[in-house]
Amino acid sequence: MPQLGVSVVEGTVVAWSLAVGDEVAADQSLCEIDTDKIVTDIPSPAAGTLTEILVPVGETVEVGTVLARIAVDASAAGQAQLRAGPESAPPTRAHAGPSAGARASSSPPARSTSVQDAAAPPALSASMPVAPGPRYSPVVQRIAAEHGVNLSLVAGTGRGGRVRKQDVLAVAAAYEPRNADRSLHTETPYRPEDEPEPAGQLSRMRRAIGAHMKRSLDTAATCTTWMEADMSRVEAARRRAKASALLGVTALPIVARCAIEALAEHPALNATLEGERYTRHDAVHLGVAVSLGEDGLIVPVIRDAQTLSVEQLGLAIRDLARRARSGGLAPDDVRGGTFTVTNPGQFGSLMATPVINQPQVAILDLEAIVKRPIVVSSDDGTDDDMIAIRPQTILGLSWDHRALDGAQAAQFLAAVRRRLEHWDVRG
Amino acid sequence: MAVMTYLEAISDALREELRADERVLVMGEDVGAFGGAFKVTDGFVEEFGEARVMDTPLAEAAIVGTAVGAAVVGMRPVCEMQFADFVACGFDQLVNVAGKTHYRFGLAVPLVVRLPSGGGFSGGPFHSQSPEAWFMHAPGIKVLAPSTPADAKGLLTAAIRDPNPVVFLEHKHLYRRINGEVPAGTYETPMTARIAREGSDLTVIAYGAMVHAALEATEPEQLDCASVEILDLRSLVPLDDAAILASVAKTSKVVIVDEANETCAPGAQVAALIADRAFEHLDGPVRRVATPDVPIPFSPPLEQAVLPSVERIREACRELLEY
Amino acid sequence: MQTAGPVAADAPAGAPDRPGPSNHLTPADQAALLRAMLLMRAIEARALTLYRQGRVPGSFYDGFGQEAVSVGAAFAMGPRDRLCPLHRDLGAHLVRGVEPVRILAQYMGRESGVTGGRDGNVHFGDASLGVVGMVSMLPDMMCVATGMAMAFKLRGEQRVALTWFGDGATSRGDFHEAMNWAGVQRLPVVFVLENNQYAYSTPLGKQFAVDPVERARVYGFPGVTVDGNDAEAVFEAVRIARERALAGEGPTLVEAVTMRMHGHAAHDDMRYVPPALLAAWAQRDPIERQERRMAALGVDVAALRAEIDAVVEAAAAEALAAPMPDPATAAEGVFAVGEAQPLGDGRAPWSWFASDPAADRAVPTGSAANGNGAGRGTAR
């Protein structure tokens, strides 16, 4: 059924001039078609024998429908079909190139279909809480990715506290990466020793750390709560484990494990607060402070730490520390934490007031484990008290009073202590 | 180098081309003996004769249509519509004949249609339009809109020498109100955008008279020392994509100003381009300041209320800077 | 109202014709007129068949019964003159030198068609042969032709522009603007009004209150009516109009009275035309009239027909085998680049142009020899 006019979509067969089996010449009238405009006859596209009539008189078909078949030659392979459309034309020939003369050939500029030609897309922070709507503009994300800036550390000066381009640029400028893929984030106040500095000037890295400390203290309503814990069982477990090469030689993985379990009971401490946005997290992405010697501290993050056993935590901490000291951390390794643990007690300090790692709401500080005389009650229920020597440590928890109160902080610490003091010596 | 007004620069371009190329023909209503409604062609008849500075009948379709005919037999006609608004009467010839001929037949139509456009002086609905978007939308037509005297001369020269139909928008309000240095002799200005002022905090994209409004609106002391870049498009077809994207990449914030009616004004195309190809560089929404979709009213308070003012532009920039 | 010679429409149907109305045509010229009309009809008939077989996309228009208007008028034009034909004026393209294969390829949207598939049916013009293709808005081309004439006059050249348009088109503003402009500037343009009685389904009575040919006077130049079905009469009228123009006397409106024998387009069965009217006009077919003249001069008309049919058949076969355009090129060529090339010169088969030393002679033009590249397809 040919297209007999721009607006024609169908036609009705009015009459067939030939019958099946008849010989037909090229251009001889085959049939009459009625469109809504005109009745017209259809000339045969080829000479041959009419072998099939597919549309009877009175039937209406759409343009493109095969109406009939003609055998062009008894021995020929193909058959001519009466149908519409330029598909009977030879296929397109590739453009032969500009012909001689002034004819213009101004093809439209090749357009990249998406933004791949722009800078590499920002590595969307895995710590980005699931909040509705974009929180960082595309350029801010891109700059953060390029410079390894943890956006959660960047205070925004834009409307409603949003992080503007100049804010992230300022932070990026303050950092001096050690090498191309190194990013440094520091939050704890402790330094083993200071870098040697030219007189009267802090290094850029110092200044960056200082800026973060200051910002955290300016942002959070920082309070610190302490609780003493009896580490006898933990120390016993460590002595046992020393034999096996798996556990690290510090108590940190055990404390971390206890803290993670305590967070499950006290989810208010596994949360982030950014401006007005407060989010509690199901997973515990545990930041662990790692000393870098002269270069300061860095806090890589163990993701989904709640799924790891003590041994696995120990391995993860050791691995992160190793990578941190060799400059092998990626930007993703240092962002997205929901709770941080710091352990500077190796030098003998007993208590501290750690600074919260923004935008988290709490940080747990593990200081030195020191043997002390303590008062223990006898087991038989009498009032007899005795003095015993026990390895003790003072757990410090700095927390943000905007998101928590003292009772919650104390309850959390109590839960950590309880687990430590009932630690299964067998591990 | 001489200092001259925007209007004098346009005259200068025409004069130089009439002298240099005998194929150039100026045609329009009252352009000959009267020297043109705005005196652009004042004195031309005396120098070039009535045949080349032609007073035509009042017939915009025929002005454009005969220009097409003259162009395809080797002339370089420069038509004047007395006001840009009247190009509507010649729209068919311009869009359907001039614009589509080269694509269909490989036959070039080298003509220029000069349009005194824009409002701001109580011209009312039929003497104040900025119709450039109509012709940006028609394939085969180039569209130029200079904002300075130097660019006006250079772009008109380029338009006359271009083998395609070119619509040339001359903002009437700039004719005598701005001066600038204009090189002597002949030169062509490239059909690209120009940075009118460099900046780093925000980009304002504009063309024609709005470039001057934008410059005034964003003087640093007006905006707490913010550094605002002004990009003068100068050429709407071809549109300088690269310059637009580079400026947005630099500042990440953009305000686009149109004196034309907002819907589908040239700025709408610029905004779409930015959203498509500069998304990664944006630190805020793409803002537009445009005349609302109304015929340009006559009475001054009404007209001032609809045309983008210095204050409106400044406020839009301030909001976006703070975002 | 002037007329150009005896109006041959008075001849009774079937009777041998009087000698042709023009004294300026040799027998070879007369044969050339017939040949061009036969070619036009044969191409259009072949194309109509192809259209009904679905090989011609879009719409199909022809000038069946009107062949004399385009052939006769174009025949009077010199190589450096310029033409703006319309959709029933295929004969003009043939006279100027476009080959049948390119026309059939054009109808079928092939790359080797005159527009390379960019426009369809008779919307074409080979710029290298001095022809500007039409637009659908009628009669826009009247203004363009006026402009070409304006340039000729400005430059003091002995050249004329000619355009065709129909009875319906005279109702639109461009008709008035072009006529007025041409009249007030006394331009060397010939306006050929093809009055074929109908604009689609609209008869003359609904189109205008005053016959356009009468209105020419009001614009300051003569309007002439001629038998549009007599190629030699049309030729003569245009020849005279051209002479006037070259002499600086300005435009002429030549009304060629004819009949549109087919529908507005192939999808129109023209049920609104009284069958008696068609029957009457069928007696005055322009080709049959010219055949009678040539037969009287001893020309083997049947052989001529057979020859034309063979030419068209071969052209159709070649066009059918031609490839479609490359889709990747669809957005190319919107803008010209470099120096704008003006229209080139076309064929001018009237013997007078070859014999008269004062006549404008063309630099040999045509597809192979013309290196200026103006117009699509010249290098093919």
Strand partners, C273: none
Alpha carbon of A134: minimum distance to chain B alpha carbons (Å): 11
With contact defined as beta carbons under 8 Å apart, do C152 and C188 qualify? yes
Alpha carbon of A167: minimum distance to chain B alpha carbons (Å): 11
Choose among C25, C19, C3: nearest CA to C355. C25
Beta-carbon contacts of A256 under 8 Å, excluding residues fewer than 6 positions away, are A286, A288, A305, A310, A313, A317, A341
Mean pLDDT of B197-209: 97
8 Å CB contact of C147 and B56: no
pLDDT digits (tens, 9 = 90+) for A33-65: 887 667 888 888 888 999 999 999 989 888 888
Closest-CA residue of B relative to A160 is: B323
Show the CA angle centred on residue C92, arms to residues C89 and C96, nearest 5°.
Answer: 160
Choose among A181, A144, A177: nearest CA to A329. A181
Q: Which fold has domain C24-325+340-355?
A: Rossmann fold (3.40.50)
With b for 16 or more beta-carbon neighbours within 10 A and e for fewer, the B150-186 pattern comes to bbbbbbbbbbbbbbbbbbbbbbbbbbeebebebeeeb
Of A190-194, A393-397, B234-238, C214-218, give the lowest mean pLDDT range: A190-194
Residue B70's H or E segment, with its range, is: helix B60-72
Average pLDDT, chain A: 77
Note whether B101 contacts C: Cβ–Cβ < 8 A: yes
Question: In the prediction, which pLDDT does A188 show?
Answer: 57
8 Å CB contact of A103 and B323: no
Question: In the prediction, which pLDDT does C366 show?
Answer: 36
pLDDT digits (tens, 9 = 90+) for A366-378: 989 999 999 988 7
8 Å CB contact of B281 and A118: yes
Beta-carbon contacts of B256 under 8 Å, excluding residues fewer than 6 positions away, are B204, B205, B206, B267, B270, B271, B286, B287, B288, B289, B290
Whole-angstrom Cα distance, residue B290 to residue B263?
9
Q: Does residue C1 carry a pLDDT above 80?
A: no
Closest-CA residue of B relative to A118 is: B280
3-state class (DSSP) for residue C350: coil
Tell me what percent of the residues of chain A surpass a pLDDT of 90.
Answer: 28
Mean pLDDT of C300-325: 97
Q: How far is CA C9 from CA C75, C89, C273, C294, in A?
A: 21, 21, 20, 18
Tell me what percent of the residues of chain B surpass a pLDDT of 70.
Answer: 100
Which residues on chain B are in Cβ contact (under 8 Å) with C174? 61-62, 65, 92-93
Whole-angstrom Cα distance, residue C59 to residue C57?
7
Q: Please tell me which residue, A114 or C288, carries the higher pLDDT value.
A: C288
* Domain assignment of residue A267, yes or no: yes
8 Å CB contact of C336 and B100: no
Question: In the prediction, which pLDDT does C4 show?
Answer: 35
Closest Cβ–Cβ partner in B59, B73, B102 for C342: B73
Note whether B59 contacts C: Cβ–Cβ < 8 A: yes
For chain C, positions 61-120, list CB contacts with chain A under 8 A. 108-111
pLDDT digits (tens, 9 = 90+) for C209-258: 998 889 999 999 999 999 999 999 999 999 999 999 999 999 999 999 99
* Domain assignment of residue A116, yes or no: no
Q: What is the ipTM metric for this complex?
A: 0.91
Alpha carbon of C135: minimum distance to chain B alpha carbons (Å): 6
Q: Does residue A111 carry a pLDDT above 70?
A: no
Ramachandran angles phi, psi of B127, nearest 5° = -135, 15
Domain boundaries along the sequence of chain B:
2-182, 194-322
8 Å CB contact of A90 and C323: yes
| Neighbouring chains to A with at least 3 Cβ pairs closer than 8 Å | B, C
Question: In the prediction, which pLDDT does B100 show?
Answer: 97
Tell me what percent of the residues of chain C surpass a pLDDT of 70.
Answer: 88
pLDDT digits (tens, 9 = 90+) for C155-208: 999 999 999 999 999 999 999 999 999 999 999 999 999 999 999 889 999 999
Torsion from C-alpha of A83, A87, A89, A91, nearest 10 degrees? -160
Identify the band that residue A182 occupies on the pLDDT scale cut at 50, 70 and 90: very low
Please identify, among A64, A84, A104, the residue that sits at the C-terminal boundary of a domain. Answer: A84
Mean pLDDT of A317-341: 84
Suggest the residue from B104, B111, B160 to mutate for an interface test with chain C (most C CBs closer than 10 A). Answer: B104
Q: Please tell me which residue, B145 or A142, carries the higher pLDDT value.
A: B145
Closest Cβ–Cβ partner in A104, A138, A164 for B279: A138
Closest Cβ–Cβ partner in B56, B65, B75 for C140: B65
With contact defined as beta carbons under 8 Å apart, do B158 and B112 qualify? no
Instruction: List, in sequence order, the alpha helices (H) in chain C.
Output: 27-52, 67-75, 90-96, 100-107, 140-154, 173-185, 212-219, 231-246, 275-282, 286-296, 301-320, 351-355
Closest-CA residue of B relative to C178 is: B62
Of A13-27, A123-137, A320-334, C37-51, give the lowest mean pLDDT range: A123-137
Strand partners, C253: C191, C223
Which residues on chain B are in Cβ contact (under 8 Å) with C335? 102, 140, 142, 164
pLDDT digits (tens, 9 = 90+) for A227-256: 999 999 998 888 777 665 554 467 888 999
Closest Cβ–Cβ partner in C333, C341, C380 for A105: C333
Predicted structure pTM score: 0.69
Q: Does residue A341 carry a pLDDT above 50?
A: yes
Which residues on chain C are in Cβ contact (under 8 Å) with A85? 54
Determine whether C242 is an active site residue: no
Residues A257 and A396 in one domain: yes
Q: Which of B127, B171, B173, B212 is catalytic?
A: B127
Whole-angstrom Cα distance, residue B176 to residue A279?
62
Q: Does residue A129 carry a pLDDT above 70?
A: no
Which residues on chain B are in Cβ contact (under 8 Å) with C376? 104-106
Whole-angstrom Cα distance, residue A6 to residue A331?
61
Question: In the prediction, which pLDDT does A244 show?
Answer: 59
8 Å CB contact of A109 and B241: yes
Fold match between domain B2-182 and domain B194-322: yes
Determine whether C272 is an active site residue: yes
Mean pLDDT of B58-67: 97
Which residues on chain A are in Cβ contact (under 8 Å) with C327? 92
Mean pLDDT of A2-24: 82
Other C-beta atoms closer than 10 Å to the C-beta of A133 total 4
Which residues on chain A are in Cβ contact (under 8 Å) with B322? 158-159
3-state class (DSSP) for residue B139: coil
Q: Which fold has domain B194-322?
A: Rossmann fold (3.40.50)
8 Å CB contact of C152 and B73: yes
Question: In the prediction, which pLDDT does B144 show?
Answer: 98
Q: Does residue A194 carry a pLDDT above 70?
A: no
Q: Does residue A331 carry a pLDDT above 50?
A: yes
8 Å CB contact of B277 and A112: yes
Tell me what percent of the residues of chain C surpass a pLDDT of 90.
Answer: 82
Whole-angstrom Cα distance, residue C185 to residue C245?
12
Which residues on chain C are in Cβ contact (under 8 Å) with B66? 143-144, 146-147, 150, 178, 181
Torsion from C-alpha of A359, A362, A364, A365, nearest 10 degrees? 80
Q: Please give the positions of A annotated as active site.
A: 401, 405
Question: In the prediction, which pLDDT does A218 show?
Answer: 87
Please identify, among A84, A115, A141, the residue that sits at the C-terminal boundary of a domain. Answer: A84
With contact defined as beta carbons under 8 Å apart, do C12 and C248 qualify? no
Q: Does residue A105 carry a pLDDT above 90?
A: no
Question: In the prediction, which pLDDT does A358 show?
Answer: 85
8 Å CB contact of C132 and B102: no
Identify the band that residue A321 occupies on the pLDDT scale cut at 50, 70 and 90: confident
Cα four-point dihedral sign C236, C238, C241, C243:
negative
pLDDT digits (tens, 9 = 90+) for B271-313: 999 999 999 899 999 999 999 999 999 999 999 999 999 999 9
Of A332-336, C1-5, C191-195, C248-252, give the lowest mean pLDDT range: C1-5
Question: In the prediction, which pLDDT does B7 show?
Answer: 97
Question: In the prediction, which pLDDT does A133 show?
Answer: 47
Cα four-point dihedral sign C71, C75, C77, C80:
positive
**Which CATH number does the domain housing residue A261 bear?**
3.30.559.10
Alpha carbon of A86: minimum distance to chain B alpha carbons (Å): 21
Q: Does residue A179 carry a pLDDT above 70?
A: no
- Report the amino acid identity of residue A84: A
pLDDT digits (tens, 9 = 90+) for B99-128: 999 999 999 999 999 999 999 989 999 999
Chain centroid offset of residue A299 CA: 19
Whole-angstrom Cα distance, residue C60 to residue C63?
11
Closest Cβ–Cβ partner in A121, A122, A165 for B283: A165
pLDDT digits (tens, 9 = 90+) for A361-414: 999 999 899 999 999 887 666 778 889 999 999 999 999 999 999 999 999 999
pLDDT digits (tens, 9 = 90+) for C89-125: 999 999 999 999 999 999 999 999 999 999 989 999 9
Note whether B281 contacts A: Cβ–Cβ < 8 A: yes
Closest Cβ–Cβ partner in C52, C109, C324 for A42: C52
Q: How far is CA A262 from CA A230, A417, C247, in A?
A: 17, 9, 109
* Domain assignment of residue A337, yes or no: yes
Whole-angstrom Cα distance, residue C31 to residue C294?
7
Question: In the prediction, which pLDDT does C189 show?
Answer: 98
Question: In the prediction, which pLDDT does A197 show?
Answer: 53
For chain C, positions 245-274, list CB contacts with chain A under 8 A. 263, 265-269
Q: Does residue A116 carry a pLDDT above 50?
A: no
* Domain assignment of residue A29, yes or no: yes
Tell me what percent of the residues of chain A surpass a pLDDT of 70.
Answer: 72
Q: Does residue B97 carry a pLDDT above 70?
A: yes
Q: Which 3-state string (H, E, C) describes C35-51?
A: HHHHHHHHHHHHHHHHH
Closest-CA residue of A relative to B282 is: A139
Question: In the prediction, which pLDDT does A127 show?
Answer: 37
Suggest the residue from C126, C324, C343 to mutate for an interface test with chain A (most A CBs closer than 10 A). Answer: C324
Which residue bears the tokens 């002391």? Answer: B221
Range among A17-26, B46-55, C260-269 with highest mean pLDDT value: B46-55
Query: Is CATH 3.30.470.10 what the domain over B2-182 is classified as, yes or no?
Result: no
Helix axes C173-185, C212-219, angle to 10 degrees: 40
Question: In the prediction, which pLDDT does A315 show?
Answer: 86
What six digits make up the tokens of B185?
């002799």
Other C-beta atoms closer than 10 Å to the C-beta of B246 total 17
Strands, E assignment, B93-177: 112-117, 142-144, 166-171
Whole-angstrom Cα distance, residue C290 to residue A84?
38
Whole-angstrom Cα distance, residue A202 to residue A208?
10
8 Å CB contact of A89 and C339: no
3-state class (DSSP) for residue C113: coil
Which residues on chain B are in Cβ contact (under 8 Å) with C135? 96-97, 100
**Which CATH number does the domain housing residue A15 bear?**
2.40.50.100
Identify the band that residue A103 occupies on the pLDDT scale cut at 50, 70 and 90: very low
3-state class (DSSP) for residue A402: coil
Q: Does residue A93 carry a pLDDT above 80?
A: no
Q: Does residue A76 carry a pLDDT above 50?
A: no
Mean pLDDT of C342-354: 95
Strands B2-5, B179-182: pairing is antiparallel
Whole-angstrom Cα distance, residue C351 to residue C332?
41
For chain B, positions 77-106, list CB contacts with chain A under 8 A. 102, 106
What six digits make up the tokens of A208?
């960056």
Closest-CA residue of C relative to A67 is: C53
| Neighbouring chains to B with at least 3 Cβ pairs closer than 8 Å | A, C
Note whether B49 contacts C: Cβ–Cβ < 8 A: no
Beta-carbon contacts of B31 under 8 Å, excluding residues fewer than 6 positions away, are B40, B41, B44, B53, B54, B55, B80
Suggest the residue from C107, C126, C129, C267 to mutate for an interface test with chain A (most A CBs closer than 10 A). Answer: C267
With b for 16 or more beta-carbon neighbours within 10 A and e for fewer, the C64-102 pattern comes to bbbbbbbbbbbbbbbbbbbbbbbbbbbbbbbbbbbbbbb
8 Å CB contact of C147 and B59: no
Q: Residue A240 is part of which domain span?
A: 185-200+219-421
Question: In the prediction, which pLDDT does A205 show?
Answer: 64
Question: In the prediction, which pLDDT does A187 show?
Answer: 53
Average pLDDT, chain C: 89
Q: How far is CA C185 from CA A215, A385, C81, C220, in A?
A: 83, 127, 19, 10
Cis peptide bond upstream of C139, omega within 30: yes
